[in-house]
Amino acid sequence: MSGTGRPGSARKAYICLIVAATAILALTARHLVSGAAAPPAGGLFPSLVNERVMIISPHPDDESLACAGVIQRAVREAEAVKVVWVNDGDANPTAARLFSLGRKPDAAAYRRLGDLRHREVVQAAADLGLTKTSLVFLCYPDGATNSLWRRDRVRIHRGANGRTTVQNNGHAWHPGAPYTGLSLERDLTSVVKDFRPTVVIYPDPTDVHHDHWATALFTGEILHGLSYSGASFTYITHHGYGWPWPPWFDPGGSIIVPENDTGSRRPLTLNLPGADEARKLRALSRFQSQGGLLAPSINSFVRVNEVFYAKL
How far apart CA 108 and CA 7 sit, in angstroms, is 17
How far apart CA 297 and CA 227 sit, in angstroms, is 36
Question: What's the whole-number mean pLDDT along residues 191-211?
Answer: 97
Q: What is the DSSP pairing of strand 305-311 with strand 265-271?
A: antiparallel
What would the pLDDT profile of 85-129 be if each residue is shown by its tens digit? 999 999 999 999 989 887 899 999 999 999 999 999 999 999 999
What would the pLDDT profile of 264-285 be if each residue is shown by its tens digit? 788 999 999 999 999 999 999 9
Tell me what pLDDT residue 260 has.
64
How far apart CA 248 and CA 251 sit, in angstroms, is 9
Tell me what pLDDT residue 38 has.
56
How far apart CA 147 and CA 218 sit, in angstroms, is 12
Q: Coil, strand or helix: which one is 19?
A: helix
Residue 112, C-beta contacts closer than 8 angstroms, at least 6 positions apart: 96, 98, 99
Of all residues in the chain, what percent carry a pLDDT higher than 90? 76
Tell me what pLDDT residue 23 has.
42
Tell me what pLDDT residue 40 has.
53
With a cut of 70, say whether residue 215 has pLDDT above it: yes
Mean pLDDT of the chain: 88
Walk me through the domains of the chain, giving residue ranges and CATH numbers.
9-311 (3.40.50.10320)
How far apart CA 175 and CA 177 sit, in angstroms, is 6
Listed in sequence order, the DSSP H helices in 30-61 are: none
pTM for this prediction? 0.88
Dihedral over alpha carbons 26, 308, 94, 143 (to 10 degrees): 150
What would the pLDDT profile of 32-59 be if each residue is shown by its tens digit? 444 455 555 578 999 999 999 999 999 9
Alpha carbon distances (Å) from 243 to 233, 249, 297: 18, 12, 9
Comparison of pLDDT for 98 and 130, the residue scoring more: 130
How far apart CA 117 and CA 181 sit, in angstroms, is 23
Taken in order 189, 179, 238, 106, is the CA torsion positive or negative?
Answer: positive
One-character DSSP codes across 182-206: HHHHHHHHHHHHHH--SEEEEE-TT
How far apart CA 72 and CA 213 sit, in angstroms, is 25
How far apart CA 129 and CA 279 sit, in angstroms, is 9
Which H or E element spans position 234?
strand 231-235
Tell me what pLDDT residue 29 has.
46
With a cut of 80, say whether residue 27 has pLDDT above it: no
Of all residues in the chain, what percent carry a pLDDT higher than 70? 85
